[in-house]
């Protein structure tokens, strides 16, 4: 007999070792997330993928799937909590979607639409962080970083370069570049690196590509995120409504 659990009443098969989010995505069911990535170990930092399992709230990205689990994903309570998390991310950085090169391809923006965030309800921090354009092919806008650590993990675990890391604690936590000058141009970072392709927001941008695809014709302009999955890896994620 196949191993199964339910998500919002729908039966979901799973393989031993899969997490709830992995089994859900394989079944075409979208669970909102930002720090999860299929090639990396579960991280659980953004908490956006929180679901209810047998009445207890857990993160779907690092909770193992188990037979008989009753998972709730689309309740109004969970959506409101996710909405609050996304609202906080928007005010902690400078996320001005109409003026951002990543608009239409931004996972944060797409998740905000999914949870029906109409606007931030908290006071904006308006952080002052510099933009690093020292690399010939890649620019970094630290104002947009949401501390998901996807670039950190990609550079360390996939590219084996350890270009990025986080520094500071609490509200002072920020992304840094591991070079003597702190500049990306003084590292061996390459535009073909995995770390250049996993950013879910507009923090890491490939130069000379911002408007090659017109606004209105971009990844999430054409389909909502629960249909197409993650823009960083279009082949990964739900392909239809769960």
pLDDT tens, residue order, the chain (242 aa): 579 999 999 999 999 999 999 999 999 999 999 999 988 988 888 999 999 999 999 999 999 999 999 999 999 999 999 999 999 999 988 898 988 999 999 999 999 999 999 877 888 888 888 899 999 999 999 999 999 999 999 999 999 999 999 999 887 899 999 999 999 999 999 999 999 999 999 999 999 988 899 999 999 999 899 986 765 544 343 443 33
Q: Which two tokens stand for residue 19?
A: 């997490």
DSSP at 158: I
Would you state the pLDDT for residue 239? 42
pLDDT attached to residue 94 = 87
User: What is residue 1's predicted lDDT score, i.e. its pLDDT?
Assistant: 52
Please tell me whether residues 118 and 206 are part of one structural domain.
yes
* pLDDT at residue 241, as a whole number: 36
Is 193 a member of any domain? yes
User: Residue 187: CB partners within 8 Å, gap ≥ 6?
Assistant: 135, 161, 163, 177, 178, 179
* Closest C-alpha to 152, from 85, 96, 199, 97: 199
Whether residues 94 and 128 fall in one domain: yes
Domain boundary among 76, 111, 129: 76
The per-residue pLDDT for 231 is: 55
Res 177: pLDDT: 98
What's this model's pTM, rounded to 2 decimal places?
0.90
Same domain, 34 and 101: no
Q: Specify whether 127 is located in the same domain as 166.
A: yes
User: In this structure, what token pair is assigned to residue 188?
Assistant: 């061996």
Neighbours of 69 (CB within 10 A): 20
DSSP secondary structure code for residue 61 in this structure = T
Based on the fold, state whether residues 148 and 178 are members of the same structural domain.
yes
Whether 98 is covered by a domain: the verdict is yes
pLDDT score recorded for residue 119? 78
As for how many domains the chain has, the answer is: 2
Same domain, 114 and 202: yes
Looking at the structure, tell me whether residues 136 and 159 fall in a common domain. Answer: yes
Q: How many helices (H) and strands (E) does the chain have?
A: 6, 10
């Amino acid at each position: 007999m196949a191993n199964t659990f339910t998500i919002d009443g729908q039966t979901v098969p799973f393989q031993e070792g899969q997490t709830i989010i992995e089994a859900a995505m394989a079944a075409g069911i979208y669970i909102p997330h930002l720090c999860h990535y299929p090639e990396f170990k579960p991280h659980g930092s953004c908490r956006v993928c929180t679901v209810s399992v047998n009445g207890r709230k857990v993160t779907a990205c690092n909770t193992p799937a188990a037979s008989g689990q009753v998972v709730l994903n689309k309740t109004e309570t969970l959506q409101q909590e996710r909405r609050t998390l996304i609202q906080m991310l928007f005010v902690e950085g400078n996320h001005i979607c109409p003026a951002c090169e990543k608009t239409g391809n931004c996972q944060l923006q797409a998740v905000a639409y999914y949870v029906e965030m109409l606007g931030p309800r908290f006071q904006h921090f308006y952080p002052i962080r510099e933009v690093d354009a020292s690399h010939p092919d890649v620019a970094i806008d630290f104002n947009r970083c949401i501390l998901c650590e996807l670039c950190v993990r990609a550079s360390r675990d996939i590219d084996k370069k350890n270009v990025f890391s986080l520094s500071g604690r609490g509200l002072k936590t920020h992304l840094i570049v591991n070079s003597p000058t702190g500049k990306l141009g003084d590292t061996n970072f390459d535009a073909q690196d995995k770390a250049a392709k996993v950013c879910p927001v507009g923090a890491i941008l490939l130069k000379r590509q911002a408007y090659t695809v017109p606004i209105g014709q971009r990844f999430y302009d054409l389909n909502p995120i629960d249909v197409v999955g993650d823009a960083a890896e279009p082949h990964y994620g739900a392909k239809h409504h769960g």
